[in-house]
Amino acid sequence: MISLVKKIVFTNFARLALVGLMLCAFEPAFAVPGGAADTLSIWVMDNGLGSKNAMHRLVKKFYRETGISVKITSLSWGEAFNRIAQTFADSNAAAPDVIQLGSTWIPHFAAAGHIRAIDYLMPQIDSARFLGEGLRSAHISGRPETYAVPWFIDVRGFFVNERIWLALGFDDSDLDSYSQFLGVMKTIANSDLLTEDGVKVTPFSLPGKDDWAAHHCMAPFIWSHGGDFIVPSGKGYRSALLDSNTLVGLALYAKIMGDAQMAPHSLLENSADNATGFVRSERVIHYGTSELIKQLDYPGEAGGLANTAVAKDGIKVMDLPSGPFGKFSFMGGSHLALCRKQDSSKYALAEKLLVYMLRADNIDAFSRQVGFLPADRSILHIWNRDSRYSKLVAGLENSRSFPNIPEWGDVETILLELSNNMGLLFSKKKNKKKNSAALAKMVYDANVKINAVLNYDDTVNYADKLRWIQQIFLSDYRETYPKNSTNFIGRYELPTVDEFKYKIVSSKFLLVSFGAGFLVLCVIIVCVVKRRKSRSR
């Protein structure tokens, strides 16, 4: 949500509180004129270029309309969760009146009693304006209370470098399915294109090292194949990592991450590095957020991307590939909520500020500055007229968010550990069969950990299914090549050293089997001949 090139968005709950305490000394705070007695406070994150100026304009306008002053405190996403949690733990007297929360954080803070239920405000806010998936995140699963309202949407999509895409002769339909996606990446790998700086252009990249958002990238692969991370079970949830559909999606994700041609830099990069490579026109395809489009409008001296290679080449937004169960993208974003405080004297004023911030005109003004899609349906149709955003807006219909349960933060941490361990494995081992066995064990262990977090008593012994899991990771995924692929003759037609070794090992077993069969046939022939000779005597 901050600069794609520089952002560090740790949304897991395992960050040390000490980091937040150290950073709070450098917290920027701003306020419009007003007396301290009636001054409200709002905590927001650094939501990207233009977000601070947009917030200043909003609170100044609020002061002109109401005479109520507002102090703005801006947090980095890296410190935000722990800073907020620590504030509530120490004394909620220091908590803000209104607060921005990541969509997956709401159940955690609501279950802890730190934010207020706001159902009584929903008629005034007009909740019908907001997308259902965003409103779902405003609840704790299984409970009716509403604790927050969507502010803006963090939807992810496929971006391609337009100049390179057209130069290679691709068509939009070449990315209709995941099998075609693989074929396109293999074709790009064989093109031997170089950037102006002489760097080889590669197809794609996934975050495989020290990352914080890999589960956002992993989700479309799993959802499109009918799987999920966790699913309802009885009165709670259970891990779905060992469900067959989930494993097929995970296997595809792992195949791309570990492939030295399709995504050669994955094992050395995190999400920010992935974005940097695309901005430098070193990658053709990027899975990212809508803020990238807005950053191209800002000059380099303002921290924008207007002077970068990808700005010169142009970007094109694509539909996501489809799997057997459809096409899905991750949809997150941010909500606004009211903090629960011992001193309730400013509750009514805080409610005014919340309602004001969620007015359609104010949501639109803020979203246009930061580049994230507005959460308000009545505004989205206007954004849909912009060709740069139209496919992202259309993709909202096929977007999904993560489960709205208080335990999701711990589940998220396990998923991030799984993805980072995948990258570490591929960087050390290249043998496909050995990797598949290690991947099976990783997924099995993550499944056990998630069920422990969810208090799900898993009585089935999955250990005897490790070989079955391994076979899914060993399975090949169909690759469908674009029509122009014949124009590129490259190295993928020859096996790599490790693939060659694997083929040799496989060939040995084939030769042994053939030899054994031939020997048995010879014995049978000898026996038949001897029997005929004995009869002739």
Q: What does DSSP say about strands 230-233 and 70-75: parallel, antiparallel, or unpaired?
A: unpaired
What φ, ψ does residue 150 adopt, rounded to 5°? Answer: -60, 140
Sequence-separated (6 or more) residues with CB below 8 Å from residue 516? none
Nearest-angstrom CA–CA distance, 114 and 108: 9
Sequence-separated (6 or more) residues with CB below 8 Å from residue 118? 146, 147, 148, 149, 337, 338, 351, 354
Q: Can you read off the two tokens belonging to residue 39?
A: 């001054």
Angle (CA) 411-415-417 rounded to 5° is 115
What φ, ψ does residue 83 adopt, rounded to 5°? Answer: -65, -45
User: According to the model, what pLDDT value does residue 33 have?
Assistant: 54
Please say whether the structural domain 17-154+331-400 has been given the CATH code 3.40.190.10. yes
- Classify 72 as helix, strand or coil: strand
User: According to the model, what pLDDT value does residue 534 have?
Assistant: 63
Do 395 and 437 meet the contact criterion of CB atoms below 8 Å apart? no
For the chain, give every domain's residue range: 17-154+331-400, 169-283+407-474, 507-537
Angle between helices 408-428 and 214-223 (to 10 degrees): 90
Position 372: which residue type?
A: F
Nearest-angstrom CA–CA distance, 336 and 334: 7
User: According to the model, what pLDDT value does residue 493 have?
Assistant: 43
User: According to the model, what pLDDT value does residue 523 have?
Assistant: 75
User: According to the model, what pLDDT value does residue 533 have?
Assistant: 62
Nearest-angstrom CA–CA distance, 415 and 449: 10
Which neighbouring-strand residues pair with 233? 236
**One pLDDT digit (tens) per residue for the chain, 537 residues:** 444 444 433 334 333 333 343 334 334 455 555 555 689 999 999 998 889 999 999 999 999 999 999 999 999 988 899 999 999 998 778 999 999 999 999 999 999 999 999 999 999 999 999 999 999 999 999 999 999 999 999 999 999 999 999 999 999 999 999 999 999 999 999 998 999 999 999 999 999 999 988 999 999 999 999 999 999 999 899 999 999 999 999 999 999 999 999 999 999 999 999 999 999 999 999 999 998 999 999 998 888 999 999 999 999 999 999 999 999 989 999 999 999 999 999 999 999 999 999 999 999 999 999 999 999 998 998 999 988 899 999 989 889 999 999 999 999 999 999 999 999 999 987 788 899 999 999 999 999 999 999 999 987 777 678 989 999 999 999 999 998 776 664 444 444 434 444 444 444 545 656 677 777 777 787 776 666 666 555
- Classify 521 as helix, strand or coil: helix
Nearest-angstrom CA–CA distance, 236 and 401: 18
Nearest-angstrom CA–CA distance, 309 and 463: 50
User: According to the model, what pLDDT value does residue 22 have?
Assistant: 38
Angle (CA) 354-298-64 rounded to 5° is 30
Dihedral (CA of 90, 92, 96, 98) sign:
positive
Nearest-angstrom CA–CA distance, 241 and 244: 8
